Amino acid sequence: MRLELIGINHQTSTVDIRDRAAMGQDDIQINLNNLVEMENIDGAVILSTCNRTELYVSPLQHHSENAFRSLFQSLTRLTRPEVDSAYIYRDEKAVGHLLRVSSGLNSQMIGEIQILKQVKDAYHLALNNHSTNSILNRMFLKAIECGKNVRHRTRISEGSVSVASAAIELSNRVFGSLDNCNVLLVGAGETVRLAAKFFGNAGVESWRVSNRTKTNAASLSDNLGGNVVEFPPTEIDVGWADIILSATSCSSPVVQEKTVFNSSESSNKMQLFLDLAIPRDMEPGIKDLPNNFLYTVDDFKDLVAANIESRQGEAIRAEKIVDKLIIDFSKWYQENRISPTIQQLQSVLETIRIEEVNKNVGRFQVEDRDQVDKFSKSLMRKVTSLIIGNLKRASREKDDVKLAKALTIALSSADNTNVNEVLEQLDNEFSHRSTP
Q: Which residues are catalytic?
A: 50
Establish whether the linkage from the previous residue to 232 is cis, with ω within 30° of 0.
yes
List Cβ neighbours of 54 (8 Å cut-off, separation of 6 or more): 5, 6, 7, 8, 9, 46, 47, 48, 101
Q: Hey, how many other C-beta atoms are within 10 angstroms of the C-beta on 99?
A: 30
The closest of 115, 133, 1, 110 to 54, measured between CA atoms, is 115
Judge contact between 407 and 388, C-beta under 8 A: no
Q: Do 151 and 200 meet the contact criterion of CB atoms below 8 Å apart?
A: no
Tell me the angle at which helices 297-336 and 369-397 cross, rounded to the nearest 10 degrees.
Answer: 120
Treating both helix axes as pointing N-terminal to C-terminal, what angle do 419-434 and 339-360 enclose, rounded to 10 degrees? 150
Determine the Cα–Cα distance for residues 167 and 276; give it in Å rounded to an integer: 8
